[in-house]
Amino acid sequence: MNSTATLEQLKQLHLHGMAGAYQGIMSLPFNQHPEAHELLALLAEAETQHRSLERTKLYLKLSKLRFNARLDQVTCGSERNLEKRQLAALTDCSFIDRAENILITGATGCGKSYIACAIGNQACLMGHKAHYFNLNRFVERITLSRLEGTFVKMLNQLDKFHLLIIDDFGLAPLDQSTRLALLQLLEDRYAKRSTIIASQLPVSKWHEYLADPTLADAIMDRITTNSQRIELKGPSLRNKKSKETL
C-alpha cells in the first residue's frame, strides 16, 4: 500500500491528527524517515494532541463565556484583595474535582465576570465542561423550560457541565418558581459539581436577597458549604480603561 492510500485511510477513520503527522513525515527525504516504532509513537502523539485541541475548542464553544479571558491576564494585588497564590491555586482546576463552589463578590466593574470567565476558560483547557449564564438568561431558561415542559431535561443537561457559572446574581428579584428551580439545580450539583456565582452583593446579603427564609436557608447551605470566596475590592476597572483611552 502506498503512502497516498494510507493517508486516505487515516482520514476515512477520522484520525486527522495522525494523518497530518503522517503527511508531514512522508514529505521528508526517505533517509530521514523514523524507524517503525518511532513513527508509531509520533503518530499516536499527534492524534492525542489533535483530539485534545478539538475537545478544547468544542468545550469553549459550548461554554458561551462572556469574555475570552485567561487567568494569566488577571491583575492581582492588595488593592484588589486578590493574591497571586489564591489565583494560582485555581489553575489546575482541582476545585472541580473536589466539587467546590467559588463565590466572587465586589462592586460593579471590579472584574468579577472577567475572573469567572477566566476560570471557566481554564476549566475548558483542563478538559472540564463549563457553561456561563448571567442571571437574566438563567431565569429566561428556567421560564421557557417550564412553559415547554422540558424543565427536568434542562436540569439533566446542566448537570453534565462540571462547572456552571451564574453571573450578576442579585441584580434582579427572583420569583418563587425561580427560587425553587435554583434550589433544585444546586441540590443536583451538591458535592458532585462546581458552581461559580458572581455578585455585586456580599455573601452576607444573599439570604436577604433570596427573600423566602426557608428556601434561602436551603439554597445558602448548598452554595456556601465547601466553597471558596474571592472578595474583590478597589475602583471600577471600566473607569480606569475609559480614562486610559482619553
Q: What is the pLDDT of residue 21?
A: 81
Instruction: Beginning with the edge strand found earlier in the chain, give each strand of the sheet holding 194-199 in spatial order.
Output: 130-134, 163-169, 194-199, 101-105, 227-231
Residue 53 shares a structural domain with residue 74: no
Listed residue (115, 118, 117) closest to 230, CA to CA: 115
Identify residue 148 by its one-letter amino acid code.
E
Q: Of residues 21 and 176, which shows the higher confidence score?
A: 176
- When divided into structural domains, the chain yields a total of 2
| 57 shares a domain with 89 | no
pLDDT score for 7: 81
DSSP codes joined into one string, the chain: --HHHHHHHHHHTT-HHHHHHHHHHHTS-GGGPPPHHHHHHHHHHHHHHHHHHHHHHHHHHHHT-SS---GGG---BGGGTB-HHHHHTTTT-HHHHTT-EEEEE-STTSSHHHHHHHHHHHHHHTT--EEEEEHHHHHHHHHHHHHHT-HHHHHHHHHT-SEEEEEEETSS---HHHHHHHHHHHHHHTTTSEEEEEESS-GGGHHHHH--HHHHHHHHHHHHTTEEEEE--SS-HHHHHHHHT-
Q: What is the dihedral of CA 120, 147, 183, 128, to 10 degrees?
A: -20
Grade residue 240 by pLDDT with cuts at 50, 70 and 90: low
Across the chain, mean pLDDT equals 90
> For the segment 90-147, what is each residue's pLDDT rounded down to a tens digit?
999 999 999 999 999 999 989 999 999 999 999 999 999 999 999 999 999 999 998 9
Do 110 and 232 belong together in one domain?
yes
Confidence class for position 23, pLDDT limits 50, 70, 90: confident
Of the residues 20, 46, 61, the one at which a domain ends: 61
Same domain, 38 and 96: no
- The predicted pLDDT at position 241 comes to 53
Q: Please report how the helices 16-26 and 36-63 are oriented relative to each other, as an axis angle in degrees rounded to 10.
A: 140
Which of the four pLDDT bands, split at 50, 70 and 90, describes residue 243? very low
The predicted model gives 16-30 an average pLDDT of: 83
Mean pLDDT of 57-69: 95
What is the mean pLDDT of the segment spanning 12-37? 84
**Confidence (pLDDT) at 126:** 95
Instruction: Give the Cα separation of 181 and 191 in Å (integer).
Output: 18
Cell of 197: 456565582
Domain extent, residue 79, equals 64-244
Q: CA-CA distance, 80 to 231, in Å (whole number)?
A: 8
From 61, 76, 109, the end of a domain falls on 61
Same domain, 129 and 223: yes
Is the predicted pLDDT of residue 238 greater than 80, yes or no? no
Q: What pLDDT, on the 0 to 100 scale, is given for residue 28?
A: 85
- Check whether residue 21 and residue 105 sit in a common domain: no
Rounded percentage of the chain residues whose pLDDT exceeds 70: 96
The predicted structure's pLDDT at residue 31: 81
47 lies in the same domain as 72: no
pLDDT at residue 242, as a whole number: 42
206 and 131 assigned to the same domain: yes
CB 174 within 8 A of CB 165: no
The lowest-confidence range among 70-74, 212-216, 235-239 is: 235-239
